[in-house]
Amino acid sequence: MGAASPQSAEDVAAGLRDAGYLAGDSTALVAYLAARLGKPILVEGPAGVGKTELAKAMSRYLDRRLVRLQCYEGLDEAKALYEWNYRKQLLRIQAEATGTGWDAVQDDIFGEEFLLARPLMQAIGSEEPVVLLIDEIDKTDQEFEAMLLELLSDFQITIPELGRIEARTHPVVLLTSNNSRELTEALKRRCLYLWLDYPAIEHELEIVRLHAPELPDTVARRLVEVIAMVRELDLKKPPSIAESIDWARALVLMGAEEITAEVFRSTLSIIVKHRTDLDTVAERVGVRLGAAA
């Protein structure tokens, strides 16, 4: 048996690692259970902690195509599920010889050929099972969530003109949320829940090494320690893993051998991006680095 049916959480962790993702224990376990139980995973947590990347890595690991639905305010069925290809329908009607009965034309233009499949429909209509990423679901409204529930629990959709369309294959589904609003209980009930947070120091060190292998080890270690210190402060937006990686890459380019107070000051805007945060961090952490040097 291949990656398609992992035998343990350790299997999944090793597979994700090969796919460039360092999963913590609970991530590997939830991903394993989701693959085996056929349940969607709801991944929640602050921005930049690896929610979206988990879905991408799952698709590489399982060797399945990734179908992504990026959510936004006002996203509707027409963009998420399907819509009729009006232009093509119009052309079809125009091409029709005069005298053809309306019934005949109508049967024709509401056939699958005139349907535009959007990500959700693509995901369940695919011949090969896919990984479906529904990214930032908290940006949509509750109505959209309700529509999604039907799809996620029955793996089928109903198109008034066509009837019920059942899934050809079942996708592995990951939903992500930045926690900007509380999701409905109904949605949560259907999903396995994974809370991703800022990683522990050793874990983040591994991630930084993976993304910036050229960074000297002592610098990498100092970097994650400083990042952890910065996260302790009461900031508008604490630095995430994404910022740690960017900082590490910048330090590589600069050939930094050490994170001195000076290096810290000049690269501060890579890790904090609010004016008030910049002031707080410069004052609280910059001073400590200066004292240590």
Ligand X SMILES: Nc1ncnc2c1ncn2[C@@H]1O[C@H](COP(=O)(O)OP(=O)(O)O)[C@@H](O)[C@H]1O
**CB of 7: closest distance to ligand X in angstroms?**
22
Q: Would you say 109 or 175 has its CB closer to Mg ion?
A: 175
Alpha carbons 177 and 180: distance in angstroms, whole number: 7
Q: Which residues neighbour 218 within 8 Å (Cβ) at sequence distance 6 or greater?
A: 258
Instruction: Select the binding partner of residue 241 from Mg ion, ligand X, none (C-beta < 5 to 8 A, by kind).
Output: ligand X
Q: Would you say 135 or 204 has its CB closer to Mg ion?
A: 135
Instruction: Select the binding partner of residue 239 from Mg ion, ligand X, none (C-beta < 5 to 8 A, by kind).
Output: none
**CB of 135: closest distance to Mg ion in angstroms?**
6
Residue 221: which H helix or E strand, with range?
helix 217-232
Binding of Mg ion by 140 (CB under 5 A): no
Question: Rg for the chain (alpha carbons), in Å?
Answer: 24
Angle at 8 between CA 7 and CA 11, to 5 degrees: 90
**CB of 140: closest distance to ligand X in angstroms?**
16
**CB of 178: closest distance to Mg ion in angstroms?**
8
Q: Would you say 229 or 242 has its CB closer to Mg ion?
A: 242
Other beta carbons within 10 angstroms of residue 94's beta carbon come to: 7
| Contact footprint for ligand X (CB under 6 A) | 21-23, 47-53, 176, 207, 210, 241-242, 245
What SS3 class is residue 279? helix
Q: Which residues neighbour 163 within 8 Å (Cβ) at sequence distance 6 or greater?
A: none
Instruction: Select the binding partner of residue 22 from ligand X, Mg ion, none (C-beta < 5 to 8 A, by kind).
Output: ligand X
Q: From the list 27, 52, 140, 240, which residue makes contact with Mg ion (rule: CB under 5 A)?
A: 52
Q: Put residue 255 in one of left, alpha, beta given phi > 0 → left and psi -120 to 50 → alpha.
A: left
Q: Would you say 43 or 256 has its CB closer to Mg ion?
A: 43
Enter the tokens of residue 214. Answer: 């050229």
**CB of 15: closest distance to ligand X in angstroms?**
13
Binding site for Mg ion (CB under 5 A): 52
